[in-house]
């Protein structure tokens, strides 16, 4: 929790610092910073409020009834009850690629989705491990956390664009200030992106930890992650919008060639190691 708060504070610091520099070029630091934040907030508020509908559309996920997938509904219902949450809606993505995600702005507006490939690949214990991870995301309102981070990062991007405009077309007599603003307009969005992805990776580790405690099957979750990761490493990709990549339990659009620091997810192998260590520390939970 402290790490998350520190990263949010860092994001806010980048916003305020860049806003002051860019605003100084235009003669009104406070108004420029506030304007960028309000614009980013408005855009992300819409995404947040309708996140479940938007994501289901972007991933081509279809809500399914208990009659269609009784076993899947039974596991989701049991895990939600154990977590003290209302049962999320259940959706299916018609794809042979194994993966899963959760979305929705809160426990009462949540959806848990899995691909048909996941249902075919995993046994029931592994499936329960994956779903416990997604239920943990719902419990801790990780969509809200991601929305706040995206709002601040979005405001930084708008400020950076204004900074580049001001540096190129501003008062030529402010050459040094223009150069500083230009440099910051490129560095600030990169820094914000790195902090934002670090927040995302932290939430994945936390969902693994709490999900394993919820299902009491850390080794099953580890086994499921390994199976999914091997599919991703094999080059098989989901035919969906890449912007949804942070939602999935394993990033379906990356491989080992992508540096971990630029990924929305931590290394799957590190996640597996942590889960195995958890099982060894607290004894067999299977």
Active site residues: 134
Question: Residue 1 has what DSSP assignment?
Answer: -
Question: Residue 63 has what DSSP assignment?
Answer: E
Calculate Rg over the CA atoms of the chain: 21
Four-residue CA torsion sign, 218, 223, 228, 234: positive
Residue with tokens 């995206």: 150
The residue count of the chain comes to 286
Contacts of 207 (CB under 8 A, 6+ apart): 133, 134, 136, 137, 140, 142
Single out the residue of 131, 102, 97, 134 nearest to residue 117, CA to CA: 97
- H helix count then E strand count, the chain: 10, 4
Q: Could you tell me the two tokens for 73?
A: 């509904």
Q: Is 184 exposed, middle or buried (0-12, 13-18, 19+ CB in 10 A)?
A: buried
């Amino acid at each position: 929790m402290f790490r998350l708060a520190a990263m949010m504070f860092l994001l806010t610091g980048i916003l305020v610092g860049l806003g002051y520099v860019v605003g100084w070029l235009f003669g009104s630091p406070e108004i420029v910073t506030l304007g960028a934040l309000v614009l980013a907030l408005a855009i992300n508020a819409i995404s947040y409020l309708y996140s479940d509908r938007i994501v289901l559309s972007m991933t081509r996920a279809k809500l399914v009834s208990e009659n269609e997938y009784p076993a899947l509904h039974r596991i989701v219902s049991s895990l939600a009850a154990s977590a003290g949450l209302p049962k999320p809606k259940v959706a299916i993505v018609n794809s042979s690629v194994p993966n899963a995600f959760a979305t929705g702005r809160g426990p009462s507006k949540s959806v848990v989705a899995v691909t048909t490939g996941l249902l075919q690949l995993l046994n029931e214990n592994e499936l329960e491990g994956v779903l416990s991870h997604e239920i943990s995301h719902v419990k801790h309102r990780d969509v809200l956390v991601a929305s706040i981070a995206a709002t601040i990062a979005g405001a930084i991007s708008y400020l950076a664009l204004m900074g580049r405009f001001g540096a190129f077309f501003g008062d030529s007599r402010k050459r040094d200030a223009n150069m500083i603003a230009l440099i910051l307009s490129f560095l600030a969005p990169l820094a914000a992106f790195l902090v934002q992805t670090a927040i995302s990776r932290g939430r994945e580790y936390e969902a693994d930890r709490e999900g394993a405690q919820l299902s009491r099957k850390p080794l099953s979750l580890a086994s499921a992650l390994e199976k999914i990761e091997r599919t991703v490493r094999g080059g098989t990709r989901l035919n969906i919008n890449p912007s949804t990549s942070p939602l999935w339990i394993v990033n379906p659009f990356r491989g080992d060639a992508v540096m971990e620091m630029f990924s929305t997810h931590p290394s799957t192998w590190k996640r597996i190691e942590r889960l195995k260590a958890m099982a060894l520390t607290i004894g067999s939970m299977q």
